[in-house]
Structure formats: structure tokens, C-alpha cells
Amino acid sequence: MARILCFDSDTHFSGHPGGQARFTEEFIEPLSDVHDVEVWTVMSETHRTRGAVTYRALLRTDQVTKSTQLSFARRQLDVVRREGEHFDLIVENFIPPIGPSGMPTHTTTPVIGLANFSFWDEMSAKYHVPFHLLTRHRLQKYDWIATTHESVSQRIRTLSPQTVTAAFGQVVEPGIAVWNDSPGERAVFLGRPDIHQKGLDLLVRSLHRLGSRAPDVALAGFDPSNKDWQKLVRRWPLSSSVEVLGYVRGTPKDDLLKSARALLLPSRYEGPSYVPLEGASRGVPTVAFDLPCFADRREFMYLARPFDISDFAAQIDRAFLDDRLYEEKRRASAETIQHSRQLHPQEEFRAFVTQVLSR
């Protein structure tokens, strides 16, 4: 049995968990059947358990913000310097927008860097901080990096060729009865109220381009009082057919996906997103821009030219008006999900961990 320490500021207990939280739950937690796993995170309590995994608060708060991310990045290095030698392996989730911390230089314990994204150039442009330069330097310090998509691995290999970088894919939900036998009637957006990455401005303008042809739309993942959203809709007023539902999970999220005919993902960059797979497992295609992370998903998605608002609007039209193409997308969704469920990314990651532990 090995002692494994994982740092993740975006876990199930952090408020609004995202892609990194899913990796921790689906890849790190299962290791606890053999190993002693401890996760340091952001949460309101000092510590709590989830199955056999102990979660500890590196920061005590209910919400993850830019400030908490920066503080978490600093404090995790303090923990590693102080306690790293008591563990056999450390897993570091690269914190957006900061990226790798250079953690291996602070401990002799082996470190696996976890990259759910690789858009440091874009983060540098957004925050006017040279994250891309820091990343190029710090990536050289890592012997092992895990990713959830080959597009991320490829970009990291160009920056740090000597690092062993492996892609493990994303876990598709178990084969339970989640398929929507009858398509829903509205379009659904799931995500943060972010303009720079998630492209909410592109979505709003596409809906304007559709005008009276626009379907009913539900947006989930943020509160309607969010200041960025309010500023956006003051400039581009939306009809009453657009509803903002706030953050959803569990049964409310399942009900929302059952009501969807198409999911909307107007992101300018992704690392990649779980949304298309969540939709595909229910027979709900996703409308998105044609990004590198969707290269292996084109058969079951409607992909518009980046970042062509008219084409995005046209793809929404196709999803709601062309029944023949829609059924082709649903069939492709079923085939993709069936194939994905025959893969074993968690076991591949477990083997990767074993390889690092036996170095």
C-alpha cells in the first residue's frame, strides 16, 4: 500500500465542481481500494471523508475564486515542502489559469502532474500575465504528466518532449438507462458565465442572429444576477424564451438533459469538455465550434467554423429542423458511447500510477 497525496482545488466539496473534480472522483478515488489516498482541496469544513478517501481543507471557504486559486497554488507548495516526504506519490492538478507550479523541485517524492487543459497562451491573453512563459519553464521539471485527451497531450509534448505524457480519456457514465427515447424541445447550455473561454457572447449573438427562429434555451451553471451576464444581456437583450436556471446537479441536471434536443457549447477553447459526452450518452447532440479537442467527436456533434456566429446559428437551425441529420447524430452518439464503454481509462491510469511508484 502506498500513501498518495492529491491536490485539487476543484473537488466535489468546492462549491461548483468541474472537470478536475470529475477526474479526482473517477480516477483518484478508485485508487483507495489498494492505497491510502488523501486529497487536499477547498471546502468549508476542516476535513471529511468520501468512501475510503480523506479530504482535507487547504483553504476553508464555500467558493472557488481567482483569489482562492492563487492562494491554493502557494499553500500547496508549503504542504509539499513540509509533508511531501511522508507520501509515496503526489498528484498535482494544474490550477487554471496558473498551470504547473514546478512542484517536483520542492520534493523528492515523485509527482504526477494532471493537465485537464493546455491553453496557457489563451490564459496569458486573458489575464495579461505570462502564464505561457512560466508553463514552458515549469513543465520541464515534470517526469510524468497525465491528461484526459490526446489533444492536450500533444500540446504538452511540444513544450516538454522529455516528459512522459499520457492521455487516459474520459469516463463515460455507466450503462444505466439515461438514453432519451424522445428528443426534448429546447437547447441547453451547461457552464460558467465566462465570455473569454466559454463564449457566452458568441452564444447570445447567435441567438440574436436566429431571431424568431431561435428555440427555447435553458442556461445552467450560474446565477442570473451574475454581473458579467447582466452586462451581456443589457447589450444584447434576450427574449423570455431564454431561461437562466443557476447551478444544477443530480436529478435536476438529469431532468434538464431530458428536456434537451441539443446542447450548446460556444467555447473559444476547451480542454476538453465533458458536455458532449454527457449529451451523447443521452442521445443529445452538441452544437459547438470546431476545436481540436472535438476532432474525434465530429460524427455526433454539429460543428461550426471558429468563431463564425452565422455558422453557429445555422448549426442550431440544423439541429432543430433537419430530422434526418438529427437521427444520424443520435445513432453516432450511441455508437460512440458503446465504444467508449468498452475502454478502461481508469485501469490504464492505475497502471500509470503503478509504473511511477515502481520507478
Residues 7 and 95 in one domain: yes
Residues 246 and 321 in one domain: yes
Please tell me which residue, 342 or 12, carries the higher pLDDT value: 342
Residues 243 and 305 in one domain: yes
Residue 341, pLDDT score: 83
Number of domains composing the chain: 2
Residues 335 and 348 in one domain: no
Residue 202, pLDDT score: 97
Residues 28 and 162 in one domain: yes
Q: What HEC string does 263-321 produce? A: EEECCCCCCCCCHHHHHHCCCCCEEEECCHHHCCCHHHEEEECCCCHHHHHHHHHHHHH
Strand partners, 288: 265, 303
Domain span at residue 302? 186-340
Residues 162 and 15 in one domain: yes
Segment 280-330, tens digit of pLDDT:
999 999 999 999 889 889 999 999 999 999 999 999 999 999 999 999 999
- Count the helices and strands in the chain (H runs, E runs): 12, 14
Rounded Cα distance, 140 and 102, in Å: 8
**What percent of the chain is modeled with pLDDT above 90?**
63
Strand partners, 43: 60
Which CATH number goes with the domain that contains 256? Answer: 3.40.50.2000
Lowest mean pLDDT among 76-80, 102-106, 125-129, 231-235: 125-129
Mean pLDDT of 38-43: 93
Amino acid at 284: V
Residues 330 and 351 in one domain: no
Residues 155 and 250 in one domain: no
Rounded Cα distance, 251 and 289, in Å: 29
Residues 348 and 336 in one domain: no
Lowest mean pLDDT among 17-26, 53-62, 157-166, 347-356: 17-26
Q: Is residue 180 part of a domain?
A: no
Residues 140 and 55 in one domain: yes
Q: Nearest-CA neighbor of 272 among 22, 6, 82, 65?
A: 22
Residues 155 and 26 in one domain: yes
Q: Is residue 176 part of a domain?
A: no
What's the CA angle centered on 344, arms 343 and 345, to 5 degrees?
110
Long-range CB contacts for residues 170-173, cutoff 8 Å, separation at least 24: 170/22, 170/272, 170/274, 170/277, 170/345, 171/22, 171/26, 171/27, 171/345, 171/346, 172/277, 172/281, 172/337, 172/340, 172/341, 173/278, 173/281
42: left (phi over 0), alpha (psi -120 to 50) or beta: beta
Lowest mean pLDDT among 116-120, 210-214, 251-255, 352-356: 116-120
Q: Is residue 316 part of a domain?
A: yes
Residues 236 and 202 in one domain: yes
Q: Is residue 179 part of a domain?
A: no
To the nearest whole number, what is the mean pLDDT of the chain?
Answer: 91
Mean pLDDT of 76-103: 94
Q: Is residue 178 part of a domain?
A: no
Q: Is residue 238 part of a domain?
A: yes
Q: Is residue 16 part of a domain?
A: yes
Residue 177, pLDDT score: 54
Q: Is residue 174 part of a domain?
A: no
